Structure 1
């Protein structure tokens, strides 16, 4: 796999944690940073995918009226909770 160096200035406390984990896991600091960056990018890609999915739902009219959700939420914990709005 082709690689490229990426440089970032991070707070000393964060760099110290990277050092600690690298030592504890017997891995390089580069490996720790690569794992963290990969996990963050995966999370951001999933967040973006879910955002696009939500926008498509709204555009398709797949929404629940705010007042219906509020009435349902207000009824929770009462003697007569409303059914979950659909």
Structure 2
């Protein structure tokens, strides 16, 4: 089954276009493959960022918070012989 596609057009700086062209030659892949792969990765990263922000906002709303002192104590313990476990609010 063929996937329906749509062409998108974007203006990019000449240097960025040259980088895409160079990578295209190096990888022996078409420019559209590189751009599609980059766009998919960017969108996935942005979706994960939004998910994590929403999760954090929900924690705040539910009162699941740590004090700055608790967070600092945990961070300062990292790499020591007495690392503190991750605290749950």
TM-score range, shorter chain: 0.7 to 0.9
Structure 1's consecutive aligned runs of 4 or more residues displaced over 4 angstroms after TM superposition are 73-76, 81-85
3-state SS in 2 of match to 1:61:
coil
| Residue of structure 2 in register with 1:23 after alignment | 25
3-state SS in 2 of match to 1:2:
coil
- Cα distance, 1:74–1:54 mapped onto 2, change above 3 Å: closer
Structure 2 CA distance for aligned equivalents of residues 74 and 48 of structure 1? 25
1:47 to 46, 49, 71: 49
Shift of 1:66: 2.1
| Residue of structure 1 in register with 2:40 after alignment | 38
RMSD: 2.4
Q: TM-score if structure 1 supplies the norm length? A: 0.80
Determine which structure has greater relative contact order: mean sequence separation of CA pairs < 8 Å that are 6+ residues apart, divided by chain length: 2
Q: TM-score if structure 2 supplies the norm length? A: 0.78
2:61 aligned with 1:63, yes or no? no
Instruction: Could you tell me which runs of 5 or more consecutive residues in structure 1 were left unpaired when the two chains were aligned.
Output: none
| Residue of structure 1 in register with 2:12 after alignment | 10
